[in-house]
A and B are shown apart, each in its own frame.
Chain A
């Protein structure tokens, strides 16, 4: 949807995912969109270098969030918020309704 502006579908996917979930890592994003991991990693790297995302290590995983220091953050998130509203309903729900509360280890459900 934002590909004509961003010049990359993978970049849109990364931004939309991190916006919707609050954070994300490469494999998770690639799996969600059933797309190439390398492309997602490349975009995460570019967006981090550009100061739009901030990455931190959690174990062996590199987790990305929006960089609160990015000067156009509120404008960008407003655009992403609107973009998600135009996504198909099932994709919107999959993006926004993922469980975020903790689950005790060993609990069957």
Chain B
């Protein structure tokens, strides 16, 4: 097994995910690290948000993380060989008011990583843009849309369900780029 200090962020995520899964703890990567993975690291994230989708007890997560050398610091975990901060936000796995219905799996040399799909990643970033006016989040959504196949019809439907049809109309061009809407 590759030492932790040599793992990419995605490989580290896969390593932790696979370890937790063996112990019956189910997590899915969401947040900025998923943007980093889908944008081929053009966007850099400092943390891995592994959503605790089956509401595993905090103590069980702590014990599992300690087994692979992570130390709890407040509400996150760190490893002496890595700069990445690991967090376990509680479920449910959602984008805006809707549950995430399916997740993708990436096979990496260090294990399997379950991650929200590129389309849900775009929706996740747009939630921050729509509700907080966070332009960094919009830039991240555009980055993901530039690097991955996105179901734009689904993003449009979801935006309307969030009450953000007009806002979506304003940014659709940026997401679509040279593709047909």
Contacts and interface: CB of A to CB of B under 8 A. Distances in A.
Interface of A: 49-51, 68-69, 71-74
Q: Is the interface of A mostly helix, strand, loop or mixed?
A: loop
A51 B127 contact: no
Given A50-B90, A51-B90, A69 B75 contact: no
A74 B90 CA distance: 19
B69 interface: no
B97 A71 contact: yes
Contact-size category for B: 10 to 19
Interface string B157-176: 00000000000000000000
Interface string B93-117: 0101111000000000000000000
A74 B163 CA distance: 12
B131 A69 contact: yes
B98 A51 contact: no
A71 B96 contact: yes
Contacts of A71: 92, 94, 96-99
Contacts of B128: 69
Contacts of A69: 94, 96, 127-128, 131
Nearest to B130: A68
A74 B131 CA distance: 14
Q: Name which of A50, A51, A72, A73 has the most chain B CB atoms within 10 A of its CB.
A: A51
A56 B66 CA distance: 31
Nearest to B75: A49
Contacts of B130: 68
A73 B131 CA distance: 13
Contacts of A49: 75, 89-90
